[in-house]
């Protein structure tokens, strides 16, 4: 669960983790009073989606690529090349 001030302004690291692994992004108000925004994601990696990155994307967004590859179990595949 990721608790954020604004569900419309979530750091990419939190968003990618919630989308890939499944998870909840909500505000503190939701936790305290069950009112306010709460986004629930089903794990994308369980739906067997294909993830493909260009070298330029990996260079420009290394942390996102790293998290994605580790969460999908593809990091070993990438290192084999």
Domains of the chain, residue spans: 2-80
- Asked if residue 36 lies in contact with residue 30, where contact means CB atoms within 8 angstroms, the answer is yes
pTM of the model: 0.54
Q: Quick one: pLDDT at residue 13? A: 84
Over residues 38-66, the pLDDT tens digits come to: 999 887 666 555 667 788 888 898 888 88
10-25 mean pLDDT:
86
How does residue 76 score in pLDDT terms, banded at 50, 70 and 90?
very low
Which residue(s) pair with 39 in the sheet? Answer: 25
């Amino acid at each position: 669960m990721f608790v954020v001030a604004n569900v419309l302004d979530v750091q990419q690291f939190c968003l990618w983790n919630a989308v890939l692994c499944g998870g909840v992004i909500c505000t503190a108000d939701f936790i305290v009073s069950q009112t306010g925004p709460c986004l629930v994601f089903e794990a994308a990696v369980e739906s067997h989606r294909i993830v493909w990155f260009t070298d330029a994307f990996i260079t420009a967004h290394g942390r996102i690529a790293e998290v994605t590859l580790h969460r999908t179990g593809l990091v070993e595949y990438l290192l084999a090349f």
